[in-house]
């Protein structure tokens, strides 16, 4: 047996090991910062100050986190069914179209709380639709989902540029974006949450979609661990042969899992489109779909872990912006390197420290 199968207590598996990974990522990032000639400690303190130092910073952090929760859940649902959905980025982008169409058609007739649930459905449907073709090709034709979803990211991006430049653009304007939504198409900010803690939200676009994200996280947990469908998805994800033996229909389960995954990615659009910019813009997803992969990996594909990982990445985004603003030597690209390191250690090298932890734990138990 390899050490991978030795059981460890949960606090090590889900607490200590991720923490260790994070610390190593920060240490190496610190080294990189030092190489550039800046002080790693100053950078760290700027990072934390920028992301958590005041109400506005926290608001931005949570705003980013909201998007990452949706895309993280999207990736996680697919992973539980054994599917690596790289297409959350494109599904979120197309989801934005669904969300914007709802907002554009309803905003002048109804208040936001009527628009919102319909926009959730619209964004979800559009996201799911964008996941459907790759899902269908995987289920019925065996085309690999990783390849098809990557291709659909590009197709989606091209389609959206076309629509925004030629169809949805406001006549006479230069910017490829829709008109600004009226109040009925805008999600309220969560300034009152900040006020509960005596902080001010300021300009941060932290909005109601955060609450939707939390509710959806709970629903995903329910789906994966408490429903028959979730049981079937997990069976398929872990052991396709056992699923075939148990009579779990492969094609149907794959397609449903991908539709759900696409819908979750699509819902992400609510946050930037209706919660922040109040219009549909080119490139509004901004890589959140890809960050979702790291968030899901780091959060062990569990909604609770995903929420925490999403907040961590929110901190890195917001704090990173702050660092690059305060330390001109550290460019936006450097921040990407640091984020990459976190992804590398928390996601890809997830099990690097496991064998050592197993040895330590066993020695500790014996002694």
Of these, 248, 256, 264, 323, which contacts other proteins (CB under 8 A)?
248
- Could you tell me which residues come within 8 angstroms of residue 60 by beta carbon, excluding any fewer than 6 positions away? 51, 204, 205, 206, 314, 317, 318, 321
Binding mask 346-365 for other proteins (x = CB under 8 A): ----------------x--x
Of these, 4, 141, 142, 366, which contacts other proteins (CB under 8 A)?
366
Residue 141 is a binding residue for other proteins (CB under 8 A): no
The position carrying tokens 């999207």 is: 74
Of these, 242, 336, 348, 360, which contacts other proteins (CB under 8 A)?
242
Residue 251 is a binding residue for other proteins (CB under 8 A): no
How many other CB atoms sit within 10 Å of the CB of residue 347? Answer: 17
Structure token digits, residue 62 = 């949570």
Of these, 23, 114, 238, 356, which contacts other proteins (CB under 8 A)?
238
To the nearest 10°, report the CA torsion of 27, 28, 33, 34.
Answer: 80
User: Is 44 in a helix, a strand, or coil?
Assistant: helix
Nearer to other proteins, 234 or 300 (CB): 234
Of these, 39, 180, 195, 227, which contacts other proteins (CB under 8 A)?
227
Residue 165 is a binding residue for other proteins (CB under 8 A): no
Q: Let me know: does 152 contact 130? Beta carbons within 8 Å.
A: yes
Q: Residues, the chain, total?
A: 367
Nearer to other proteins, 244 or 304 (CB): 244
Please give the distance of CA 166 from its chain centroid, rounded to a whole number.
29
Stretch that binds other proteins, among 2-10, 15-23, 76-84, 346-354 (CB under 8 A): 2-10
Q: Report which secondary-structure segment, H or E, holds 268.
A: none
Q: Could you say which DSSP state residue 6 is in?
A: S
| Site residues for other proteins per CB under 8 A | 1, 5-7, 222, 226-229, 231-232, 234-235, 238-239, 241-242, 244-249, 362, 365-366
């Amino acid at each position: 047996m390899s050490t991978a199968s030795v059981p460890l207590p949960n606090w090590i598996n889900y607490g200590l090991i991720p923490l260790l990974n994070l610390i190593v990522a920060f240490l190496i990032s610190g080294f990189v910062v030092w190489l550039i000639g800046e002080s790693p400690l100053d950078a760290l303190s700027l990072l934390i100050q920028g992301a958590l130092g005041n109400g506005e910073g926290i608001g931005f952090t949570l705003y980013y986190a909201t998007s990452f929760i949706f895309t993280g859940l999207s990736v996680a649902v697919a992973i539980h069914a054994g599917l690596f959905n790289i297409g959350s980025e494109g599904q979120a982008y197309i989801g934005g179209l669904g969300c914007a169409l709802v907002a554009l058609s309803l905003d002048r007739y109804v208040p936001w709380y009527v628009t919102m649930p319909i926009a959730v459905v619209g964004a979800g449907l559009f996201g799911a639709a964008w996941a459907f073709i790759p899902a269908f090709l995987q289920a019925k034709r065996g085309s690999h989902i990783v390849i098809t979803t990557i291709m659909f990211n590009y197709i989606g991006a091209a389609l959206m540029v076309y629509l925004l430049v030629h169809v949805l653009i406001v006549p006479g304007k230069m910017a490829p974006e829709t008109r600004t939504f009226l109040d009925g198409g805008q999600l309220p900010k969560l300034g009152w949450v900040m006020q509960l803690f005596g902080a001010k939200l300021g300009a941060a676009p932290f909005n109601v979609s955060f609450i939707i994200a939390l509710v959806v996280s709970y629903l995903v947990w329910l789906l994966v661990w408490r429903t028959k469908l979730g049981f079937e998805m997990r069976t398929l994800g872990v052991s396709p042969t056992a699923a075939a033996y148990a009579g779990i229909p492969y094609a149907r389960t794959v397609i449903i899992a991908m539709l759900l995954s696409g819908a979750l990615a699509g819902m992400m659009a609510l946050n930037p489109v209706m919660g922040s910019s109040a219009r549909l813009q080119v490139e509004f997803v901004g890589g959140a779909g890809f960050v979702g992969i790291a968030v899901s990996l780091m959060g062990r594909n569990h909604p609770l872990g995903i929420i925490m990982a999403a907040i961590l990445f929110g901190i890195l985004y917001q704090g990173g912006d702050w660092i690059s603003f305060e330390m001109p030597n550290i460019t936006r690209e450097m921040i990407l390197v640091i984020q990459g390191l976190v992804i590398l250690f928390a996601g890809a090298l997830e099990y690097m420290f496991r064998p050592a932890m197993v040895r330590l734990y066993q020695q500790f138990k014996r002694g």
